Structure 1
C-alpha cells in the first residue's frame, strides 16, 4: 500500500535534515558503487594514506620527484606504478618487457604527440601547426639527415667562428665564460648555419631563437596549472608565441618571401644551380602542394620550432621536447673539466682521426672514445628522472596484464633504468669509456653508438619515435667537443663539478657555472 506524504506537514528543519541525509547517502553510493578505474589496481608511490593524499603527494613529487621515482622503480621492478602530478596520475613502467610494449604499441593506442601536447600545450606555446601538422619531423628525419655530410664544412666553419667570437682565449692567460649561455649561442649559430645560412650570426636572431626555446618550456609550466578554460586568454595575454613569431618574421620575412617566389617560379632548378641546400629548401620541397605550409608566417613558426628541437636535442641530448631538461652537452663539458685525465686519450683519438679524415662527418663516426664519453654523460644524466612519454588514446593492456585507460599519461623511469645493475655494471658510476670498450668486443664494433636507441639507453627515446634529429645532434656535439679539446685547455672555475639543478622529475645542468679556457699552442 502506497503511503502519501504531504510535504506541507513537514517542518523546514525536517526537510533540511532529510536533504542532508540524502546527499550523504548519494556521496557514499558514488564512492562504493561507482565503476572501478583500472588505475586503482596500479600501486601508488609517494601518496600519503589519508584524505587529500593525492594533492599532498603531488606536492611531494614537485619537491622529491627523482627520489619518489627511484623508490617506485626499486619497489616494483619490472612492473607499473603511479605517481601524482598536479592534476593527474602519471603511470611509470619499467623493465625490458614493458618498455618493449611501449616500443611496439601503435600510435592509435599510445601517442607521443598527444603526450607532448598534454605537457607543452602546443597550441599556446608552439602554435597550431606544431600540434596539428608537424611536417618538419619528416624533413628532419630524411633530407636534413641525408645532408649532414654535405653541409658539414659550413657547420664546422660556424663552430670555429662562434668560438672565436664567444671564447676569445689567449695562450698566456685564462678567461672565464658562463657555460650555459655560451654553449646555447654556439649551438644556435651552428644549427642555424645548417638551417638558414649566414643569417645565423645575427645577434638579435640568436637571442630570439634561444629565448624562444626557453620560453616554450617556461610557458608550459604556468599553463599547466592554469584552468583549461582560461588557457587561451592567458596564453594570448602573457605567452611568448605571437611576440616571438613577429620578431622572427622581421628577420626571416624577406628571405622566406624571396625563397617562396623563386621556388614557385623555378622549383628545385634555379638558374646556375644557385638554390641553397638548407632547411628552407627542404621545407619548401616537402610543402609543395600544401599552400598553408608555404606562407611566410607558417615557415617562420616552423623554423622557430625546429630551433627549439635543435637546441633542446643538441644541448640537452634529450628524448622528448618537454620542459627544461639536463643540458647534456654541458654535462659532458662539466664531466670532462672535472676529470681532466680523460682529455689526453680523447685528444689523441681526435688528432689521429682528423689527420686521416679531415673535419668531416666520416671523421665524427670514427671518434669512438669521444662517442662513448658523450653517450656515458647522457646515460649518467639522461634528461630527467622520466622520459619516453606517451598518452593512452585507447585502453591499453601491457604484456603482464596491467591495463591503463584512455587519457592516462605513461612514461619510463629513464634515470633509474640507466643506473640499474641489470643494464650496466656499476651503473651508478660514471665510466667514460664504457661503450668504447663494449665496441672492442667481437661483433660489437657498430653497436653501442650514441645514435642507437635501445631499452637500456633511452636518452633519445625508443623505437620508431626515437628523436629524428639525433643524427645531427650527435654529430654536432662531437664537432663542438672535438674543437674544444684540440683548441683549448679548460678547467672549472672553482675546481669542483657544478651541482645539478632538480625540480620534481626534471633536472638541468648547472645554469650559472663558469668554465675557464686558455688557447693551446
Structure 2
C-alpha cells in the first residue's frame, strides 16, 4: 500500500509545484507597466471592473479623471494595460514632433495590434498620395462623387414613397464605399460588388479579429492568430483584393504599352506614379492592393459614422432642416441643383452643423494620441519612454473658448456665426484643426484625409436633405444615446430612421 501511495504523492506534489510555477509565470507576464501618476478609480480593489468600465464607459471614466486630477496627468486601467492621459495643454508640446518621433498612426495600430491585423503598415507613398494628390484633386471629383451617391440611393434604397424605416449603418456603408471607390480605384472598379464587399469587410475583420486576439497574452499571439477566424479572414481579404484589382491593373498596363494611355486621376495612378518617381522596387501590385484596403478602412467607416451622427442630430432637431435646405438650393440654383466644387465651401451653415455634430459626437474622446518613437520629456518633468502611448482627453466641452457661447448646448450654427467676422471667414471650418478643435487630431500627424471626408459628408447630406424627409420612429424622444467602445464614440446601430421621398 505504501509503495503505491508514494508515486501518487510525488505526482500530486509535482503537479502542485507546476501549478505554482505556472501561476507565478502568468503573474509576471501579466504585470503591466505602471507610471508614477494617479490612477482613476484607485479607491476600488476590483481592477477588472475598472477595465470593464473603460471598455463601456470611457467617457464617464475620463470625466472623473479630469475633474479629480484637474491639470494633472493620470492613468486609466484598460484591458491592454494602463493608459496615460495628458491634460490637453500638452498637445502643444507634442505637436512639433514628426510622425517618426511621436506617431498617431502607430498609436492607432497598437490599439488594434496592427502587426497581426496588418494595419501597422505606414507607407510614405500612401501618405503622400492622400496629403498631396487627393487633397489637390478634391474639387475635380465633386460631380463624380455626387453621381455615385445618387446612383446608390437609386439602386440601394427602397422607394420610400411612404415613411420607410432605414438602417443607416447598412445603407450608408454602401453609399460611402462606392463614392470613395470612385476616387480610390476609378470609374471601372467603383461599382464592382465584390470589390465593395471586400473593402468594407476588411475593416470589420480587423476590428473583430483584433479584439479577439487581444484576449490572448502577447507571448501566445504568434500562435493564437491561427485560431481566430477573423485573422484568417484578414489574410483572405488581402488575397481577394489583389485578385480583384489585378485585371484593372493589367488593363491599364496594356494601355500604357500601346502608348495610348487614358488619363487616370485616382489613387491607383497617384501611388503608381509616386512609387516610380521614388524608384521604390518594393512597390508591386500586391502592395498596391494592400494599401487600397488600408485606405478604404481609414476612410469609409469614419465618414459613414459622421454622416449618421449628423442625421441623428437633424432628426432630433428638425428646426435646422429647412434652413439647410434653403442654403443648398441657394448655392446650387445656377447649376440646377448640381453641386460644383465651389458650392462645398459656400455651404457654411451645413459645414457649421457638421462641426457642431462632431463636437458633441467625436470619433473618439481622445482624438489626440501619440506613440513615443523616441524618449520624450514634457515640461513638467514627466518622462515618456519609447513605445509608450499617451493621449489627450480632447472631449471636455468645458474647455471651449468663452466666445463660443454655452459649450454644452447644441448650436448647429455656432460656427457659422463665429465666421461672420471678415477676419474669421476662413476659420472654424469642419476640417480645420486647432487647439480648440482636435476632432481630427492636431499638429504634424493630424488626419490627412479630413478634407476628403468633409467633402464626402457634405455631398451625402446635401443629397439626403434635397431628396428626402426623415424623422425618428414615432414615440422616439430626443437623440439616441451614443454607445462607447473604449474611447470610440459610436452611434446606436439599433436605431431606425424613417425616410420619405420628397415630392
Q: TM-score range, shorter-chain basis? A: 0.7 to 0.9
Mapped to 1, the partners of 2:235 and 2:444 lie a distance apart of 32
Aligned match for 1:477, one of 453, 457, 476: 457
- Name the counterpart of 1:304: 293
Higher mean Cα deviation, 56-65 or 172-181?
A: 56-65
Per the TM alignment, residue 510 of structure 1 is displaced from its structure 2 partner at its CA by 1.2
Note the 1:5-154 alignment, pairs <5 A. 39-40=35-36, 42-48=37-43, 50=45, 54-95=47-88, 97-126=89-118, 130-133=120-123, 135-154=125-144
Aligned match for 1:294, one of 274, 284, 305: 284
Note the 1:19-418 alignment, pairs <5 A. 39-40=35-36, 42-48=37-43, 50=45, 54-95=47-88, 97-126=89-118, 130-133=120-123, 135-170=125-160, 172-196=161-185, 197-238=187-228, 239=231, 240-260=233-253, 262=255, 265=257, 270-271=259-260, 274-288=262-276, 289-295=279-285, 297-315=286-304, 327-356=305-334, 358-416=338-396, 418=397
Per the TM alignment, residue 49 of structure 1 is displaced from its structure 2 partner at its CA by 5.6
Mapped to 2, the partners of 1:71 and 1:387 lie a distance apart of 18
How many pairs align? 461
Residues 46-84 of structure 1, C-alpha deviations (whole Å, 9 max, x = no match): 23365xx65553233234322110111122333311111
Q: Flag structure 2 segments of 5+ consecutive residues without an equivalent.
A: 1-23, 25-32
Per the TM alignment, residue 260 of structure 1 is displaced from its structure 2 partner at its CA by 4.3
Per the TM alignment, residue 135 of structure 1 is displaced from its structure 2 partner at its CA by 2.6
With over 3 angstroms needed to count, the CA separation of the structure-2 counterparts of 1:164 and 1:132, relative to structure 1, is closer
Aligned match for 2:406, one of 409, 426, 432: 426
- Name the counterpart of 1:33: none
Mapped to 2, the partners of 1:187 and 1:249 lie a distance apart of 21
Mapped to 2, the partners of 1:469 and 1:342 lie a distance apart of 27
Mapped to 2, the partners of 1:147 and 1:362 lie a distance apart of 13
Per the TM alignment, residue 331 of structure 1 is displaced from its structure 2 partner at its CA by 0.6
Mapped to 2, the partners of 1:206 and 1:427 lie a distance apart of 40
Given that 1:47 and 1:84 are in contact with CA atoms closer than 8 Å, whether structure 2 keeps it comes out as: no
Higher mean Cα deviation, 448-457 or 56-65?
A: 56-65
With over 3 angstroms needed to count, the CA separation of the structure-2 counterparts of 1:220 and 1:134, relative to structure 1, is farther
- Name the counterpart of 2:17: none
Per the TM alignment, residue 261 of structure 1 is displaced from its structure 2 partner at its CA by 5.2
- Name the counterpart of 1:19: none
Per the TM alignment, residue 136 of structure 1 is displaced from its structure 2 partner at its CA by 0.8
Given that 1:38 and 1:405 are in contact with CA atoms closer than 8 Å, whether structure 2 keeps it comes out as: no
TM-score, with normalisation over the residues of structure 2? 0.86
Mapped to 1, the partners of 2:196 and 2:80 lie a distance apart of 36
Given that 1:89 and 1:408 are in contact with CA atoms closer than 8 Å, whether structure 2 keeps it comes out as: no
Aligned match for 1:509, one of 478, 491, 502: 491
Mapped to 2, the partners of 1:390 and 1:445 lie a distance apart of 31
What CA RMSD, in Å, does the superposition of the two structures yield over aligned residues? Answer: 2.3
With over 3 angstroms needed to count, the CA separation of the structure-2 counterparts of 1:419 and 1:492, relative to structure 1, is farther
TM-score, with normalisation over the residues of structure 1? 0.83
Mapped to 2, the partners of 1:435 and 1:109 lie a distance apart of 34
Q: Does 1:467 align with 2:447?
A: yes
